[in-house]
Amino acid sequence: MKNNKAKLLAVAVAMGISTQASAAIELYNQDGTTFSADGHFNAFYVQTDSDTAGDESRVRMGFLPNWIGFNVSKQIDDLKVGGRSSFWVSINDGSSNVTDTAVDIRQFYGTVDGDFGQVLFGKDFGLYARSNIFSDELLLGTGLPQINSGGVTFGNISVGYPYATPKAQISYRTPVSNGFQLAVGVLDSSEDSTTSASAASDSARFEGELTYATDFDGGKFNAWVGAASGESTTDGGSVEGVAYGARIAMGGFQFTASGFDQEGISAALADNTIASNVDSDGFLVQASYSANGHRIVLSHGETDTSAASENEMDSIAYFYDVNSSLKLIAEYDIADNTAGNETKQFAIGAALSW
Q: Residue 94: its pLDDT value, please?
A: 60
Segment 96-108 mean pLDDT: 79
Residue 13: exposure state from Cβ atoms within 10 A (0-12, 13-18, ≥19):
buried
Helix (H) or strand (E) holding 290: strand 279-291
CA distance 291 to 295: 7
Confidence of residue 249 (pLDDT cuts 50, 70, 90): very high
Segment 38-52 mean pLDDT: 94
Q: What b/e sequence results for 311-332 when a residue is b if at least 16 CB atoms lie within 10 Å of its CB, and e otherwise?
A: bbbebebebeeeeeeebebebb
Confidence of residue 189 (pLDDT cuts 50, 70, 90): confident
DSSP for 229-243 reads EEE-TTTS-EEEEEE
Task: Answer yes or no: is pLDDT of 328 > 90.
Answer: yes
CA distance 171 to 259: 23
Task: Answer yes or no: is pLDDT of 241 > 70.
Answer: yes
Give the tens place of pLDDT for each residue, 113-139: 999 999 999 999 999 999 999 999 999
* pLDDT above 90: percentage of residues in the chain: 77
Q: How far apart, in Å, do the first and last CA atoms of the chain sit?
A: 29
Q: Residue 54: its pLDDT value, please?
A: 87
Q: Which residue has the higher pLDDT, 217 or 10?
A: 217
Confidence of residue 13 (pLDDT cuts 50, 70, 90): very low
Question: Within 10 A of 196 (CB to CB), how many other CB atoms are there?
Answer: 7
Task: Answer yes or no: is pLDDT of 35 > 60.
Answer: yes
Task: Answer yes or no: is pLDDT of 330 > 70.
Answer: yes
Helix (H) or strand (E) holding 9: helix 4-12
Q: What is the mean pLDDT of the chain?
A: 89
Q: Which residue has the higher pLDDT, 61 or 21?
A: 61
Q: Residue 1: its pLDDT value, please?
A: 38
Q: Residue 19: its pLDDT value, please?
A: 37
Q: Which residue has the higher pLDDT, 40 or 152?
A: 40
What is the sign of the dihedral through the CA atoms of 344, 131, 106 and 158? positive
Task: Answer yes or no: is pLDDT of 345 > 70.
Answer: yes
Q: Residue 180: its pLDDT value, please?
A: 98
CA distance 110 to 102: 24
Confidence of residue 191 (pLDDT cuts 50, 70, 90): low
Q: Which residues pair with 207 in a beta bridge?
A: 185, 228
Q: Residue 326: its pLDDT value, please?
A: 97
Q: Residue 60: its pLDDT value, please?
A: 92
Q: What domains does the chain contain, in order, with CATH numbers?
A: 4-353 (2.40.160.10)
Q: Residue 183: its pLDDT value, please?
A: 98
Question: Within 10 A of 112 (CB to CB), how many other CB atoms are there?
Answer: 17
Confidence of residue 20 (pLDDT cuts 50, 70, 90): very low
